[in-house]
Structures are given as C-alpha cells and as structure tokens.
C-alpha cells in the first residue's frame, strides 16, 4: 500500500497545473462515473479497486458526485466540503490556496501542554470558527497552551456533539468549512496556541453514512456499540487503512493541526500484524521529516494497556499520550460523587493516591465492575503520556441532565478539584467554561433529519440511564433547546463570583507553568501520604533543587496535619483572595497546620 505523505491522493485534488486529479476506491464497482455541471465522465479502472481520472473540466467550487454502476450520484467519501450537508453533493475544494502565516510556529513540547477542550457549536453564541478566533485573547490570558476542538467532521444538520460525523475529510459546513478551520489554526499559532483536533476512527454516524455503498469499509467480524466495526483487518482492508491514514496526514499537513485526539481507540478492532495505529504513527514520522514540525497522536483508551503508548521500538503502537479516565473517576468519588455506573469501581482518595503514583488505578488488580483482572503497570512511562481532568465533554454529557461541576459541587470543592489536576505530573485538561464556573449544562444533542432515527436516539438515551443517574427525565437530544441550553454564557464573566474563579484558574495555571517542580512530568519524584480518617491526601513532589508539598483536604471539616521541615506557602485555594474562608499560614516550621475544608494548600521547601 503506497501513501504519498507529501500530498493527499484520494478524492478530488488539484495539482499545480490546476487539473483535477480524481481517485475513488470502489472495489466491487463495474463502472464509475463522476457527475458535475450537468455532465458525466467515466473514471478509469486502476489496481486494487481504485478508479481514476484527471480532468481540466472540474473546477474549484463545483458540486460533484459519483455514480456507481448507473445508480444515482452520491457524495464523495473523501469529500473536503459538504456545503449542503451530508446528503448534498460534494464541493471540489483545493486545500493549498490558503495563505499561511505560521512559518515560524513551533509546536510546544508535549510535556508543556495545558489543554482547553471546546465544542465549536456551543463555545460561542455564533457557534463557528470565526467566533472562536474572537476568544483567543481570552484563552491566552487564561494561560492554556493548546485548544482541543471536538470533532468537526461533517454531520447531519447544524448541531451535534461531533461524534456522528460521516465525512472524515469534510469540515462541518455550519462551522465555517475547511477555509474557516485553516484560518482558525493560523490565528491560534499567531497567538502562541497549539491546536488539537478530536477525530473519530472507531465508527461513523448513522445519517449520511454512504461509505458502505462504495466498498467494504465495515466488517461484521466484530461488534461495536455502533454496529459493524470499521474494516481494518478483514478482506479489502488496505483501501480502508489508506483512507484513514490519509486523513491523519491531511490534518497535520494541510491544516497545520498540531495533535490529534483519537476517540475511543479501544473500539478499533485490528488484529493485523501491524496495528492501524502503529501504521499511522509510522507515516506521521515520515511526514515530520517533510514538514520539519512536531505532530502528536493522543488517544482515548480505557484498556489500561501500555502497548498503545509505548514506542514502536518497545513493541508498542507509538501513540504519544492517552486520556486517563481513572484519575477522573477516583477524583470525583473523593469529591463525593455517587458510586454508580462507571464510578462503582472506585473508592476515592485511596485510588487518587494510586493514580498520582501509578497513572493507572487498575494495573493488574481484580475489577468488581468488570468481573476480571484488569490493566498492566505503567512503569517507565513519563507523566506527559497521560492526560487528566476533573471534567470533560464525556463525563458531563454522559450524565443524564448534563450537569457541570459548578452545579454539583461547592465553590471550594471546584477549586480543590482543579488544583488536584494541576499538581499532578500529568497533562492537565480543562473543559470549556469550567474556569469561570459556567452553570449551563452540556447535554447530548443532535439534529438528524430522519424521524425514525431521531426516535431511536431518544429511546437509546432513555435506556442508557435506566441503572445510572436515573432520577428525572433525559432531555430530548433533537430539541433545539437542548443545544441552546448547552452554550456558554460569556456575560457571567462580568459577575464577581465568576471573575474570582477565573482569576483563581489563571493563577493556578501560571503556577503550573512556571514552578520548577510542578511543571515537570517526571513520575518517579512523587510520593503520596493518605490520611484516610481525615479524608486528606498529601502529595510530595521534588527535583534535585526543590521540594513541594500539596495538602488536599477533601473533607467538609478543618483538618490538622503534621508537616516536617521548613515550608513557605506558594498557593492556597482557601485564601480570602479566592473567596475562601481563611488564609493558611505563610510559613510552616515542622509543626501542624490546620487545613480549611475542601481546600488545596501548596508549600515549597
């Protein structure tokens, strides 16, 4: 399988002579035609199921479609733009016309990333890329290093979480299309912000999914929560593998994306001798030699299997980092979250202590929830290979009512949770709005056009919460109110309560970025001490020159703990400066210190 890392080869692409080069994979077709401008042109059959044509007649901006064996034309499976949504024709789109200004941009070291996850449709009232641009100065002021944009692959309608995309190469038309995304990335780089794009390679959405009409993109060998799995290892899989590898390369090469976050890779079924993720990594390494830029692959994976993030030289797949849900689950239980659903396997602070030290909570123990021994040790892996958070789109949106931390927990506990994230040796991630205590929920929403599908989605959401957070009624995912309710309320930043929390986040992020101990991602210079009866966790971290102690009081009462040595306070979540009840002592000399309820106090030696 030959893939050209220098340029995209599938779909419609324009060369330097302004000719349209068309390549379509349809291995079972007897004839293929491309239709545009009320004319049809036959494609020529090539090797291994590909069909080709080079023409000067197809111009940028023209609508086109492919007819297989005389059937009605369909959109291009590798379409770059669907101006009329998923059921309309594709628009011929040259990617190389954008005038980039980021020639001097350098992707920061992954270990320096502080990530801000956002959803384009709900981050601003306008819900598009241009409106995000207008908020970049705000994000720079907050201090984050990278923004992570939830999926933008074309979906049905104008509102969707993003995980129902059906055209992996096409940027959502209602967000601004490919030109809008290129412009946003260029603007981010001008402001010093890296861009992570969330992509979905484990399934396709239900509406507008025409891939199966072109070829064996799916296989019945495996089952997934979304039906047949994407065909990465069955007959004819080479064409499918090329399709998704080309997608990875396109985002890095043609959109200057700095990192991809790959959704739920545990649902990618591939028993090939070389896993598709490893092959993607190898092509990305080739691309880096061409671009001279760094590109990262970050995965969501719930298998606690280090093969995913070990180097290929070590027999791994070579992914650069993974989301670590277990840190979140332990943290939420420590904060008082009810132990049901996927929280049932976690006991709070004891597991928090393990997550700080070992990255995985389950690394070879028996899991009561899974009814099996689960996970392996993460020995020898750096902290920058794990992304942690106190909330994200999943763990808000997967609640039946989509409640955020700001409406579930006290103001003091909100400050404690983010402090617990920031003092870890892992990469911290924030979810949009948490930095000022956004009270609006983030609920699951869609805008499908098929009434039967809409009803099936409604039924699925009701079934999902039968045994988990079942009080109340699940919001209607199709209702526009569900979407509108999920938008950020920027006007709240004018109110003192929200201003205080925003200032707190800024100060905490600045401390994480600038303090020699806290900014390191080394995992072997960390020690935890659990005060179970007091519901207090002490986290010590150090370098050769300095030591830091983080005192995390998850209880609702003041707690006294002994601290040996001479310490100077560098951060205090309970300070009156941050709307807290009282300031901790500035200096501690080998004596006990009283911690305020639900507080994080950090001292340096």
Q: What is the pLDDT of residues 501-517, one digit of tens each?
A: 999 999 999 999 999 99
Continuous segment of H or E residues that includes residue 247: helix 237-254
In this predicted structure, what is the pLDDT of residue 288?
A: 97
Angle 193-178-65 from CA coordinates, rounded to 5°: 160
Task: Look at residues 492, 527, 507, 493 and name the one whose alpha carbon lies nearest to residue 573.
Answer: 507
Task: Inform me whether the pLDDT recorded for 470 exceeds 70.
Answer: no
Task: Inform me whether the pLDDT recorded for 53 exceeds 80.
Answer: yes
**Domain regions of the chain by residue span:** 11-91, 110-511, 522-604
Q: pLDDT-derived band of residue 64, with 50, 70 and 90 as boundaries?
A: very high
Does the fold of domain 522-604 match that of domain 11-91?
yes
Distance CA 307, CA 319 (A): 9
Distance CA 90, CA 227 (A): 26
Q: What is the pLDDT of residues 385-421, one digit of tens each?
A: 999 999 999 999 888 899 999 999 999 999 999 999 9
Q: pLDDT-derived band of residue 326, with 50, 70 and 90 as boundaries?
A: very high
Task: Inform me whether the pLDDT recorded for 425 exceeds 90.
Answer: yes
- Largest Cα–Cα distance in the chain? 85
Q: Which of the four CATH numbers 1.10.3730.10, 2.60.40.1760, 2.60.40.10, 3.30.470.20 does domain 11-91 have?
A: 2.60.40.10
In this predicted structure, what is the pLDDT of residue 225?
A: 78
Q: What are the helix (H) ranges across 359-495?
A: 393-397, 405-408, 411-422, 451-464, 480-485
In this predicted structure, what is the pLDDT of residue 481?
A: 96
In this predicted structure, what is the pLDDT of residue 524?
A: 95
| CATH 3.40.710.10 is right for the domain spanning 522-604 | no
Q: What is the pLDDT of residues 429-466, one digit of tens each?
A: 999 999 999 999 999 999 999 898 889 888 888 777 76
- Asked if 443 contacts 450 with a C-beta cutoff of 8 angstroms, the reply is no
In this predicted structure, what is the pLDDT of residue 341?
A: 84
In this predicted structure, what is the pLDDT of residue 282?
A: 97
Q: What is the pLDDT of residues 175-208, one digit of tens each?
A: 999 999 999 999 999 999 999 999 999 999 999 9
What are the tokens at 140? 């720079």
Q: Print burial letters for 565-577: b (CB count within 10 Å at least 16), e (below 16).
A: eebebbbbbbbee
Segment 263-286 shows an average pLDDT of 97
Q: pLDDT-derived band of residue 468, with 50, 70 and 90 as boundaries?
A: low
- Asked if 449 contacts 156 with a C-beta cutoff of 8 angstroms, the reply is yes
Q: pLDDT-derived band of residue 14, with 50, 70 and 90 as boundaries?
A: very high
Active site residue 572: no
Angle 74-78-83 from CA coordinates, rounded to 5°: 65
CATH topology of domain 110-511: TIM Barrel (3.20.20)
Q: pLDDT-derived band of residue 68, with 50, 70 and 90 as boundaries?
A: very high
> Which residues sit opposite 65 in a β-bridge?
35
- Residue 214, SS3 per DSSP: coil
What are the tokens at 142? 């907050």
Above pLDDT 70, what percent of the chain?
99
Residues near 66 by beta carbon (within 8 Å), at least 6 away in sequence:
24, 26, 32, 33, 34, 35, 73, 74, 75, 76, 214
Residues near 211 by beta carbon (within 8 Å), at least 6 away in sequence:
77, 166, 204, 217, 218
> Which residues sit opposite 541 in a β-bridge?
526, 548
Q: Which of 133, 186, 263, 382 is catalytic?
A: 263
Q: Which of 53-62, 224-233, 249-258, 488-497 has the lowest mean pLDDT?
A: 224-233
pTM, to two decimals: 0.97
Cα-only R_g, the chain: 25
Q: What is the pLDDT of residues 471-527, one digit of tens each?
A: 678 899 999 999 999 999 999 999 999 999 999 999 999 999 999 999 999 999 999
Task: Inform me whether the pLDDT recorded for 51 exceeds 70.
Answer: yes
> Which residues sit opposite 153 in a β-bridge?
171
Task: Inform me whether the pLDDT recorded for 317 exceeds 80.
Answer: yes
Q: Which of 300, 320, 382, 412 is catalytic?
A: 300
For residue 251, count other CB atoms closer than 10 A to its CB: 21
Above pLDDT 90, what percent of the chain?
91
Residues near 7 by beta carbon (within 8 Å), at least 6 away in sequence:
13, 253
Segment 244-270 shows an average pLDDT of 97
Task: Look at residues 558, 540, 453, 473 and name the one whose alpha carbon lies nearest to residue 160.
Answer: 453
Alpha-carbon distances, residue 300 vs 46, 199, 263 (angstroms): 37, 10, 5
> Which residues sit opposite 227 in a β-bridge?
224
**β-strands 259-262, 296-300 pairing:** parallel
Distance CA 352, CA 424 (A): 11
Active site residue 254: no
Q: Print burial letters for 327-344: b (CB count within 10 Å at least 16), e (below 16).
A: bbbbbbbbbebeeebbbe
Residue indicated by tokens 């003192």: 496
Segment 528-547 shows an average pLDDT of 97
In this predicted structure, what is the pLDDT of residue 253?
A: 98
Q: pLDDT-derived band of residue 19, with 50, 70 and 90 as boundaries?
A: very high
Q: Write down the mean pLDDT value for the chain.
A: 95
> Which residues sit opposite 296 in a β-bridge?
259
């Amino acid at each position: 399988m030959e893939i050209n890392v220098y340029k995209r080869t599938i779909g419609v692409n324009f060369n330097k002579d302004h000719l349209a080069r068309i390549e379509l994979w349809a291995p079972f077709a007897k004839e293929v035609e491309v239709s545009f401008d009320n004319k049809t042109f036959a494609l020529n059959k090539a090797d291994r199921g590909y069909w080709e044509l080079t023409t000067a007649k197809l111009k940028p901006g023209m609508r086109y479609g492919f007819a297989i064996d005389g059937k009605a034309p369909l959109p291009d499976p590798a379409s770059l733009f669907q101006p009329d949504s998923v059921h309309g024709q594709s628009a011929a789109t040259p990617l190389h016309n954008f005038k980039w200004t980021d020639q001097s941009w350098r992707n920061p070291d992954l270990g320096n990333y502080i990530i801000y996850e956002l959803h384009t449709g709900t981050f601003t009232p306008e819900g598009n890329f241009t409106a995000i641009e207008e908020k970049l100065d705000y994000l720079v002021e907050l201090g984050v290093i990278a923004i992570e944009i939830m999926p933008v692959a074309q979906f049905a309608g104008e509102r969707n979480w993003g995980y129902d995309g059906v055209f992996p190469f096409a940027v959502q038309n209602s967000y601004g299309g490919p030109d809008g995304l290129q412009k946003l990335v260029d603007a981010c780089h001008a402001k010093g912000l890296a861009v992570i794009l969330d992509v979905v390679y484990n399934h396709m959405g239900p509406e507008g999914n025409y891939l199966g009409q072109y070829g064996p993109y799916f296989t019945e060998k495996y089952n997934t929560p979304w039906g047949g799995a994407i065909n990465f290892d069955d007959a004819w899989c080479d064409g499918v593998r090329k399709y998704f590898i080309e997608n990875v390369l396109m985002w890095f090469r043609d959109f200057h994306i700095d990192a991809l976050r790959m959704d739920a890779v545990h649902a990618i079924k591939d028993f090939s001798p070389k896993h598709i993720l490893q092959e993607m990594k190898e092509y990305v390494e080739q691309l880096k030699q061409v671009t001279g830029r760094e590109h990262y692959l970050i995965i969501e994976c719930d298998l606690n299997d280090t093969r995913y993030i070990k180097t290929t030289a070590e027999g791994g797949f070579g992914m650069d980092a993974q989301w670590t849900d277990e840190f979140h689950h332990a943290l939420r239980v420590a904060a008082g979250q009810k132990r049901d659903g996927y929280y049932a396997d976690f006991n709070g602070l004891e597991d928090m202590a393990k997550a700080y030290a070992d990255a995985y909570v389950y690394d070879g123990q028996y899991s009561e929830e899974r009814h099996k021994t689960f996970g392996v040790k993460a020995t020898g892996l750096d902290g920058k290979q794990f992304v942690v958070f106190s909330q994200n789109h999943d763990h808000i949106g997967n609640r039946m009512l989509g409640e955020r931390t700001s409406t579930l927990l006290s103001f003091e506990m909100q400050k404690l949770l983010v402090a617990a994230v920031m003092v870890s040796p892992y990469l911290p991630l924030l979810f949009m709005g948490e930095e000022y205590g956004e009270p609006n929920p983030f609920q699951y929403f869609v805008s499908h056009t098929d009434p039967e599908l809409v009803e099936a989605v409604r039924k699925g959401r009701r079934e999902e919460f039968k045994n988990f957070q079942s009080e109340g009624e699940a919001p209607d995912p199709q209702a526009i109110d569900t979407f509108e309710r999920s938008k950020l309320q920027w006007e709240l930043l004018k109110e003192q309560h929200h201003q205080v929390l925003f200032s707190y986040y800024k100060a905490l992020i600045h401390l994480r970025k600038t303090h020699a101990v806290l900014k390191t991602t080394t995992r072997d210079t960390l020690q935890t001490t659990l005060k179970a009866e007091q519901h207090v966790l002490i986290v010590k971290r150090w370098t050769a020159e300095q030591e830091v102690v983080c005192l995390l009081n998850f209880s609702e009462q003041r707690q006294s703990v002994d601290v040996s040595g001479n310490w100077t306070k560098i951060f205090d979540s309970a300070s009156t400066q941050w709307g807290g009840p009282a300031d901790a002592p500035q200096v501690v000399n080998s004596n006990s210190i009283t911690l305020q309820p639900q507080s994080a106090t950090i001292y340096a030696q």
